[in-house]
Structure 1
Amino acid sequence: MAVPTEAAVRESGRYRPPAVTGLVDLLDHQVRSRPRARALVAGADRVELSYRALAALADDVAQRLAATGLHRGDAVALLCANTAEFVVGLLGAARAGLVVAPVDPALPASQLAARLDALGAQAILVGHPSAEGTAGLPAWPLRVDLSRAGTATVSLDTGARVTREVRSAAQELSRQDAVVLFTAGTTDRAKMVPLTHGNLAASVRNICTTYELGPGDATVAVMPFFHGHGLLAALLSSLASGGCVLLPARGRFSARTFWDDVRAVAATWFTAVPTIHEILLDRSAQDYPGARAAPLKFVRSCSAPLNPATQRALERTFGAPLLSAYGITEATHQVTSEPLPQHGLLKHGTVGRATGVRLRVVDGAGRPCPVGTEGEVWVQGPTVTRGYLANPAEMAGSYGEGWFRTGDLGTLDEDGYLFLTGRIKNLINRGGEKISPEHVEDILAGCPGVVEAAVFAVPDSVYGQRVGAAVVVRDGENLGPEQILHYCRHRLSAFEVPGSLEVVGSLPHTAKGGLDRRAVEAAYVR
């Protein structure tokens, strides 16, 4: 079943998405029409930076980069937390015509070197003082100094000159490319996804249209900018629409200061992964300011499944609708979202409807599945990227005839709402019965007192594989494995019930906040 985009319908109403064509002109309308409006609120001192000042800093960086001998279309890495340095470095490099590869500053030096060597980056903009290793490339320290008096300056030391050699995956880049994101997916080797300026512009317009973002909106940057969730949904969509982004102290999310940040910037929304939502919910009795909090228009959840019971609890606590979305790097982040309440039904348990793309759920032969029938989710549209750099095998398996084959399993209902049911590669095969670990995790997470669950395949001499689980229980709860399994037996088929279950203190997560399944297997599969 294919679902048409709702963009045409939404754009015919009062809301108009920002008219941007990529990173280069992302700020232009705001600089012309609202130059003194807040673009960023940065750091522990929460210093405000206007659109005009932000654009001036980006232009300064662009001029300095243009004098280094780099050519348009060359790749540079950006090693920063969620700081003013990241934003200025990203926009400045884009204005210089360079392709920016944001990388996690917490990566071990060996992994950083491997990624940047595979990309063929020419240099690294370093805005993170604790970042280790430079992968043997010219490392250019980037610093933004902000004062409460309203002055803002940038320094970029390009003393270590570049010896330009276009090699590795960088040979496949062009002037149309804006960003390269690294995504590990379910493989050990990180894949490199090139996003064009057109991909980014289409994604920003879709996100802004879905949530009707505008100059009156503000958010707190929770998710890291080196992945699509934080980069597209929080940062670029806010700046394109004229909103304001608060960058927390040290460029990192802190549950302890989060609600103070929300109040400081008068945030109207924020987006995060379920793990962070769970943390905020668990700490709400001591941290949430209640009536003193800034009124939120909505809260967004993406990058991992959100348990419907948690979703309802968050809505009751924070007094705002919580909208689940589905995003993938290969489609420049957002694919679907629950709509704002005034624009459609909220169907908790789904990830909403297509936003600016077409969806198909297909069977093993690539034929569209009937309503309610599980199959693989395929995506097509202007946000879908052209493929992976220097990885023809993954390209052949994932891209074809304009569609991206996500590897995610799901169903579509009669209204075009998508229900995700798991990952094809994660399925557990118990004697021929295919079990979705995500489905079992959802049931486990619904057990009163359970905070989070991880489900995995355990080798079995009789069935080939059986279901194993590791579960985190809320502090103060007297909940043991047998009580949790008893809960499952009334809600799962017999073959889906975990054959072994362990209560653990915590579970490992990826940098994006999702469950790190490889680390879970290494720790608990015996």
Structure 2
Amino acid sequence: MTFDHLPWHRPTSYDDLPCVRDDRLDLTYRAFGERVEAVAEQLAARGVTAGSVVAVMLPNRVELLVAIMAAWRLGAAATPINPTFTATEAGHQIGDSGAVVVVTTDPAAVHGGATVLGVDDLATTPAGTLPPATTAPNDLALLVYTSGSTGRPKGVMLDHANIEAMIASMGEAIAVTGDDHCLLVLPLFHVNAICVSWLTPMSVGGQLSVLQRFHPVEFLQAIERLRPTYFSAVPTIYSHLVALPEEVRADVSSVRFAVCGAAPAPPELFAAVEKRFGFPLVEGYGLSEGTCASTCNPVDGVRKPGTVGPALPGQIVAIMAPDGTMAPTGERGEVVIKGGNVMRGYLNRPEATAETLGDGWLHTGDVGILDADGYLRIVDRIKDMIIRGGENIYPKEIENVLHGDPSVLEAAVVGGADPVYGEVVVAFVSPQPGGGIDVDALLARCREELTKVKVPVAVHVLDVLPKNPVGKIDKPALRARLAGE
């Protein structure tokens, strides 16, 4: 393993090349490495050592990347936190991960027992006090939090070998070179943005431009101004781009391809993007547990609409029947994955780890079909997950908040169709016997405890929630009720 994406392993030929920029900073590889070293010294002074965890709760900006690398410089892991999280949500991740330091924009905020380091206080010039870095493949690198069936987010443990495998796999698939320049618009608390947009081009001396937020017109202007060669985004972003008035034009000729992932997208969207902007749009598929991506339609090659492409190099994607055997071509079953990109496991969750990895395969919880050419089509979801504009939302977490209201007897959350976001959160609740439910108060509770995207767009009060024959709440019936409205 070369670990060329790490500043202390990079080839000296990269030193003066442009590395990363946002709307405030523009750094060469040498300058980026110096900032990493300087912040690593600060973290070390605050008790971060090999095996520690550093929480990074920042919006998209260069310092977020510096902080992650600084943790790695010390042999520590980083856990990126959604900067829009409520104190409850952030507190769970900080506490569960055991983070020693939190790097954030709000140093006055209380973040559990961790030391807070304000982003404006990050050092830029190293003093040269640290010993040489030692980075081992099995060192924990990232704790990426994803919700599960229990409704409490759990930490996906990704080591440096996982990340190196992902970089190699994706880099080969998209034929990345030092001439590539990625425009990053996805949030950097997602492993997609970290691996595909940042570390993959960095491993070969390419460039990264970081946008803090997405606005359709501003995004096209950024392409025209910065001249990136590729970017990765979710279907909602592409929907906004193709919906722009025809008179909105920009020179996007520098873009050799774009990637679409994180949520299903209709084939018509891909055709519309390619027709309007002229570059190929390739669809990929993967999980945080697989360090991001496991399949992708080829940039140069046959792209099959309605599929998420074949397995990426170095990975095996198969379809498993309920009895544990491999399903033949053309038959549906659970999508399972093998490869060096597959996570170490869930932090402090041995049962969940065994359930997901116990037989040597990563069980995705998605139902798919492989065709004769090895192209994967996702046809259903086993997991009860809502995907809102590429953001994975797990109903149980929201249901736990709803159940916290003493007026609520039962609660169920499902995804409702939405023309912009694909799915949005819709809640169904029933009251305690003889009581009633104040919907406004219930929504206020949700806003206090949940990120905005998780707050239901509607709360339907029913006398009794429908049940299936074994007595569980019948969510398919609730989805059908929404579809019939």
TM-score range with shorter-chain normalisation?
0.7 to 0.9
Matched residue type, 1:337 = C
**Is the 2:56–2:81 Cα contact (8 Å) retained in structure 1?**
yes
Whole-angstrom distance in 1 between the partners of 2:373 and 2:197: 28
Aligned AA (1:276): I
Q: 1:425 and 1:87, CA in 2 relative to 1: closer, same or farther beyond 3 A? A: closer
Contact 1:22 1:200 in 2 (8 A): no
Displacement of 1:90 in angstroms is 0.9
How far is 1:347 from its partner? 0.5
8 Å CA contact 1:22–1:198 kept in 2: the answer is no
Q: Does structure 1 conserve the Cα–Cα contact (< 8 Å) formed by 2:184 and 2:193?
A: yes
Correspondence 1:58 to 2:36: yes
Gaps of 5+ in 2: 128-136, 396-411, 422-451, 462-477
Mapped to 2, the partners of 1:523 and 1:215 lie a distance apart of 53
Aligned residue number for residue 168 of structure 1: none
Cα distance, 1:130 vs structure 2: 9.3
Structure 2 CA distance for partners of 1:381 and 1:132, relative to 1, 3 Å: same
Are the counterparts in 2 of residues 325 and 338 from structure 1 also a CA contact under 8 Å?
yes
Question: Residues 43 and 101 of structure 2 are in contact (CA less than 8 Å); yes or no, is this contact kept in structure 1?
Answer: no
Q: Which of 108, 112, 119 matches 1:135? A: 112
What does 1:436-475 align with in structure 2 at a 5 Å threshold? 470-472=417-419
Question: Match for residue 316 of structure 2?
Answer: 358
1:349 to 302, 306, 310: 306
Any idea what SS the aligned residue of 1:339 has?
A: coil
Matched, 1:403 2:366: no
Structure 1 gap segments, 5+ residues each: 1-18, 146-151, 157-173, 428-436, 442-453, 457-464, 475-514
How far apart, CA to CA, are the structure 2 residues paired with 1:135 and 1:252? 28
User: Which deviates more, 350-359 or 393-402?
Assistant: 393-402
CA-to-aligned-CA distance 1:321-358 (integer Å, 9 cap, x gap):
110000200010010001122xx311111101111211
1:264 aligns with 2:211: no
Deviation at 1:175, TM superposition (A): 6.7
Equivalent-residue separation in structure 1 for 2:209 and 2:336 (angstroms): 35
1:285 match: secondary structure: coil
Task: Indicate if the aligned counterparts of 2:37 and 2:126 stay in contact, CA closer than 8 A.
Answer: no
Provide closer, same or farther for how the CA distance between residues 131 and 28 of structure 1 changes in structure 2, counting only shifts above 3 A: farther
One-letter code aligned to 1:63: E
**Structure 2: how far apart are the matches of 1:337 and 1:131?**
43
**1:334 lines up with 2:269 in the alignment:** no
Alignment partner, residue 28 of structure 1: 9
The one-character-per-residue Cα deviations of 1:283-342 (angstroms, maximum 9, x if unpaired) are: 2535431xx33431111001111110011100111101110000200010010001122x
From 59, 62, 66, the equivalent of 1:88 is: 66
User: Which residue, 373, 379, 383 being the options, matches 2:337?
Assistant: 379
1:91 partner SS: helix
Aligned residues: 403
Equivalent residue for 1:304? 263
Deviations, residues 128-159 of structure 1 (Å, cap 9, x unaligned):
359954234210113389xxxxxx93699xxx
Structure-2 residue corresponding to 1:153: 124
CA distance in 2, matches of 1:142, 1:416: 46
For the 8 Å contact 1:27–1:51, the answer to whether it is kept is no
Q: Which residue of 1 aligns with 2:241?
A: 280
**Alignment partners' CA distance in 1, 2:245 and 2:121:** 34
Tell me the CA shift for residue 92 of structure 1. Answer: 1.2
Alpha-carbon distance change, 70 to 175 in structure 1, aligned in 2, over 3 angstroms = farther
Residues 26, 239 of structure 1: 8 Å contact kept: no
Between the aligned partners of 1:130 and 1:68, the Cα distance in structure 2 is 14
Q: How does 1:118-517 map to 2 (within 5 A)?
A: 118-126=96-104, 128-129=105-106, 133-143=110-120, 153=124, 176-185=139-148, 187-248=150-211, 251-283=212-244, 285-289=246-250, 292-341=251-300, 344-355=301-312, 356-426=314-384, 470-472=417-419
Shift of 1:26: 5.4
Q: CA RMSD in A?
A: 3.2
Q: Structure 2 length as normaliser, TM-score?
A: 0.76
Q: Secondary structure at the match of 1:420?
A: strand
Q: Please give the per-residue CA displacement for 1:60-80, whole angstroms capped at 9, x wherever unaligned.
A: 112222233332111110111
* Mapped partners of 2:106, 2:47: distance in 1: 25
- Please say if residues 229 and 327 of structure 1, whose CA atoms lie closer than 8 Å, have aligned partners that are also in contact: no
| Alpha-carbon distance change, 278 to 143 in structure 1, aligned in 2, over 3 angstroms | same
Spell out, residue by residue over 1:147-206, the C-alpha distance to the aligned partner (whole angstroms, 9 max, x if none): xxxxx93699xxxxxxxxxxxxxxxxx971111100125552111111101000110111
Contact 2:183 2:209 in 1 (8 A): yes
Distance 1:124 1:300, change over 3 A: same
Distance 2:177 2:419 in 1: 39
Distance 2:455 2:328 in 1: 34
3-state DSSP of counterpart to 1:143: helix
Contact 2:7 / 2:29 at 8 angstroms: preserved in 1?
A: no
Q: Matched residues in 1 for 2:54 and 2:87: separation?
A: 17
Q: 1:267 to 1:420 in 2, by over 3 A?
A: same
1:117 to partner: Cα distance: 1.0
Amino-acid identity (%): 30
Could you tell me how far apart the structure 1 residues matched to 2:454 and 2:149 are?
9
